[in-house]
Amino acid sequence: MRNAVLVGVLGLVSCGPEKPEIERLADEACACTTQTCAEAVNRKREAAFESRVMLGGSHTDPATAKKLDGHMRRLATCLVEFIPLDKL
């Protein structure tokens, strides 16, 4: 399961100087003040994972992987305030 999550997280890395998609989703989730907002972000997260996990993981350096893991944890922490963990 952890490997599937890691593949999903690495799949959410955008190329170029933009913020990675996982970071943008985490920012959006942490700004939510309602369950409706959190559910909308969770749907975006699910769609992003579905579209990218099927492509396989990308290779990245350990420092970037650690940063992405931090964004994923922040995303989950903010979403779980409104959505039960077993629904994520």
Alpha-carbon torsion (77, 13, 52, 58), positive or negative: negative
Return the residue matching tokens 């490997």: 3
CB hemisphere CA count around 80 (13 angstroms): 8
Give the domain ranges of the chain. 18-87
Q: State the Cα torsion 24-48-70-36 to the nearest 10°.
A: 70
Q: What is the pTM of this model?
A: 0.72
The 10s digit of each residue's pLDDT in 33-83 is 999 999 999 999 999 888 775 444 555 678 888 888 999 999 999 999 999
The 10s digit of each residue's pLDDT in 5-22 is 444 544 455 445 578 899
